[in-house]
Structure 1
Amino acid sequence: MTSYSLHGRAALVTGATKGIGLAVARALTEAGARVCVTARDSVEVRRVARELDGAGLPGDLADPALPRALVALALREFGRLDVLVNNAAVNQPLGPLMDAEPALWARAFAVNVGAPLRLTQCAWRGWMREHGGAVVNVCTEGAVHVGAGVGAYSVSKAALLRLTEQLAGELGPGVRVNSVSPGLTRTGMARFAWEGRTPDGLPLERFGEPEDVARAVLWLVSGEADWVTGADLLVDGGTRVRRARVHHLPGA
């Protein structure tokens, strides 16, 4: 996918059995990194770990004990942990926030915000504090505006965006912390939003693919981005700008 080299490095990717997470795990592996993956489906975790010749541990990131176990596994298998990609997320509850069930709201924040913080804490204490590293949080283009029916997801991702900035300020210079914010990407979780639709008005005239986001993540964790921290890389095909319709002025 790229000439960026991560040979000798080790990475942990969450939500890594499909969509953006799987594309990221594959990209890091192709660049030479050893990769530890996690997701809730134990069969899929084992399959992807075998495919990548890496390691895997299934689990629910709402469980506060899982981050420590994941970091311990990566350190045991690889002897180091240089890269952390916090990709796992839930988009429930869908619908108006006035109808949001408290348990689902709490779960959205536990997985989308709490788990990235706990994973970063464990990675910091286990390896990165002494040896450095790079963390990338997968946010969303929708974190900065109101989205119909996805309020819990957007609000939790806005919190993750702010968490990224806070951690970047606290963990430098040894650890760089950045985020990527995909636009509408053709993943299973977002199928309800892109299936049957066309990318009307997008300057690049297509929805995103998981590999588009993976390339951005790979750049952020590579040495090419050594002077980048606290940044949010927008990977949205031009969603925020849309296409400008240029009309000639009379007499022009």
Structure 2
Amino acid sequence: MSPVTPTPAELADLSDRAAIVTGGSRGIGYAIAAELLARGASVTITARKPDELAASVEQLAASVPDGDKRVIGLPGNAGDPESRAQTVARTVQRFGRLDILVNNAGVNPVYGPLMDADLEGVRKVFDINVVACLGYLQEAYRAWMGKHGGAVVNLASTAGLRSTGVIAAYGASKAALIRLTEELAAQLGPKIRVNAVAPAVVKTKFATALYADREEETARAYPMRRLGNPEDVASLVGFLVSDASSWITGETVRVDGGVLATGNLG
């Protein structure tokens, strides 16, 4: 008998898989958690603010069948090694596995020219945006993925692909994350796939300073004539962690409304 080819719906399905989404209480992280839950996964979200996290868990749980059993929130800072270890351990304890890791948590406290940048702030940017991503994957690898495999998505940025002059330290950290993604994909295949997504300006609280009071003007630089929504990124992440993308690893996929195609950076 010839092998049965899975249907597109079967390839997209994430039932019986467990995920961690860092920085998952709002914005892109929240949308990703909602996408994974809608595809059938069980999801742990993390965030630094317990009250905001609890409210997000309640909303997510109400959005899917058996949501109270399939989503948990664990307060913690991505830059804290103990917090990373506990998040991974508690996820495996609760769901019995850890198939998906989405490194979404990020910070950007440094604006303006690098010659004026506070180096402690730059260190924090790289610690959270790069080192913590590797730290989370190390924990996931030891706890589950090393033996069983999995899929990882790192949240990069178009700022990691083009110079901005304004969020330069952030952009440099995301460029490092893109290279880290390639290195990890090369080292961890074939069991573990590692990809990144690079959004342009997405309408979130985190990115407000980049478009506040001038959204229409900012959007005119984009061929799609609008800024991104968290769901635009979430649907791509859902694809990249599913079996529908089983031969994709080491890639950084732009989700930018076409802005980089214009030679500009919105």
TM category (shorter chain) comes to over 0.9
Query: What is the match of residue 231 of structure 2?
Result: 211
Q: Distance in 1 between matches of 2:162 and 2:39?
A: 34
Q: Distance in 2 between matches of 1:8 and 1:64?
A: 28
Q: Which deviations, in whole Å up to 9, do the C-alpha atoms of 1:210-248 show, x marking residues without a partner?
A: 0000000000000100000001111000011139xxxxx
Which contiguous aligned blocks of 4+ residues in structure 1 show a shift greater than 3 angstroms? none
Q: Which deviations, in whole Å up to 9, do the C-alpha atoms of 1:191-220 show, x marking residues without a partner?
A: 111222321132111110000000000000
Greater shift in the superposed pair: 206-215 or 91-100: 91-100
Compare the two structures and name the one with the higher helix fraction.
2
Kept in 1, the 8 Å contact 2:26–2:56? The answer is no
Gaps of 5+ in 1: 244-252
TM-score where L is the length of structure 1: 0.93
Greater shift in the superposed pair: 88-97 or 167-176: 88-97
Match of 2:220 among 200, 206, 218: 200
Which AA in structure 1 matches 2:95? F
Query: What is the match of residue 110 of structure 1?
Result: 127
Number of residue pairs the alignment of both structures matches: 242
1:224 and 2:241 are equivalent in the alignment = no
- Offset, 1:187: 0.9
Q: Distance in 2 between matches of 1:223 and 1:111?
A: 29
Kept in 2, the 8 Å contact 1:7–1:33? The answer is yes
What is the aligned-residue RMSD (CA, Å)?
Answer: 1.3
Match of 2:182 among 153, 161, 165: 165
Match of 2:101 among 78, 84, 87: 84
The secondary structure found in structure 1 opposite 2:44 is strand
Query: What is the match of residue 249 of structure 1?
Result: none
Q: Distance in 1 between matches of 2:253 and 2:261?
A: 15
Kept in 2, the 8 Å contact 1:97–1:151? The answer is yes
Query: What is the match of residue 144 of structure 2?
Result: 127
Query: What is the match of residue 20 of structure 1?
Result: 28
The secondary structure found in structure 1 opposite 2:261 is coil
1:138 and 2:158 are equivalent in the alignment = no
